[in-house]
Structure 1
Amino acid sequence: MQGKDELEKTRERVIDSISQNMNLYGVSPSVGRLWGLLYFQNQPMTLDEMKNELGMSKTSMSTSVRLLMELNMVDKVWKKGNRKDLYVAEEDWHQTFIDFFSIKWRNSVAANVNVIEKSLRELGQLLESPEISEEMISEIRSDIDKLHKALDYYDWLNRFVDTLESHEIFDYVPKKPPIT
């Protein structure tokens, strides 16, 4: 078919670029290549089809698909008459970014806030110790102040993620710039 080679060449160039930049999403180039493959498919694919196309083991393919599903970058779909699991890429790049960013940052914020709150409790108890020097009290208060600033940042980050998840971000940064 005329143009088939050129079409495949352009797709491969984009898939290569995507796979090399997927480290921004915390995934390996091979997982990025899988997402790129699924993105350019016009129909859902089975694990066997993906395995054959990319030359990866079925175990590796299954692990990669599961990771992409956890990141909401791939969905499992059902097709009448097909008993095998089928997968498609999420095609809305904005939503993919929002889902990925939200998942990663909500987990990180929660973990960091828990550690900071525990540290603040311990520093508060340390301040109540009668044996503590004035110099140490000053250092503890400085640390407490720094940790409260960190909590302010995490509060801001949670609110930022809220604007992503609610799509309010697009009121400030439209998907497409206004035509001027």
Structure 2
Amino acid sequence: MLTEDQRRFLDEFVTLLVGWNMPANAARVYGFLLYQNEPASLDEIAEALEISKSNACKAAKMMESAGHIRRVPERGTKRVLYVAREDFGTPFLLRTASLGALNRLMERRGVRIAQGKANQRIQDLASFYANMQAAMEHVVAVDSKRADPII
């Protein structure tokens, strides 16, 4: 069972991540795994969060594919355990690539279709995307050096 502090933490964590379009159960699974010292099974996750094992499995798969958690095989069994990833920048790599694509779209096509103030707006937006991409790449690189490399 969760302590009152753990429950409050998860409630606030879920509220914040739902604002980023993360499903509530996925946010709860991720938040739960963040404060665990040891890998947790789907049974343990489901019991602690008071959700079905099926919902825990769906949420874990979503968080795994998003790069927030990873599987840890348990020797001698087929049981799968989950842990929060230590390399926090991983989930942002796709967003970073997307910023580069937006920048290139603005620079290559956007400036050709707009004139005057609109053209300047598109150039400014391209610059913004380039700066955001560079900043995010820097943060991810620093985090990757801090994190224990996991394959």
Give the alignment's TM-score, normalised by structure 1.
0.64
**1:120-159 per-position Cα deviation (integer Å, ceiling 9, x unaligned):** 34x2xxxxxxxxxxxxxxx724322221121111111111
CA RMSD across the alignment: 2.9
1:145 and 1:56, CA in 2 relative to 1: closer, same or farther beyond 3 A?
Answer: same
1:89 counterpart residue number: 84
Alignment: residue pair count = 143
Mapped contact 2:103–2:130 kept (Cα < 8 A) = no
2:67 counterpart residue number: 72
1:60 and 2:51 matched = no
- Within 5 A, what are the aligned runs for 1:1-180? 8-90=3-85, 92=86, 95-96=87-88, 98-107=89-98, 109-116=99-106, 117-121=108-112, 123=113, 140-167=115-142
Gaps of 5+ in 2: 144-151
Secondary structure at the aligned position of 1:167 is classed as helix
Mapped contact 2:63–2:69 kept (Cα < 8 A) = yes
In the aligned structure 1, how far is the partner of 2:119 from the partner of 2:5?
A: 55
Mapped contact 1:46–1:86 kept (Cα < 8 A) = yes
Give the alignment's TM-score, normalised by structure 2.
0.74
Give the drift of 1:69: 1.6
Mapped contact 2:13–2:31 kept (Cα < 8 A) = yes
Secondary structure at the aligned position of 1:87 is classed as strand
Gaps of 5+ in 1: 124-138, 169-180
In the aligned structure 2, how far is the partner of 1:59 from the partner of 1:113?
A: 40
Larger RCO of the pair (alpha carbons < 8 Å, separation 6+):
2
Give the drift of 1:40: 3.1
In the aligned structure 2, how far is the partner of 1:69 from the partner of 1:43?
A: 17
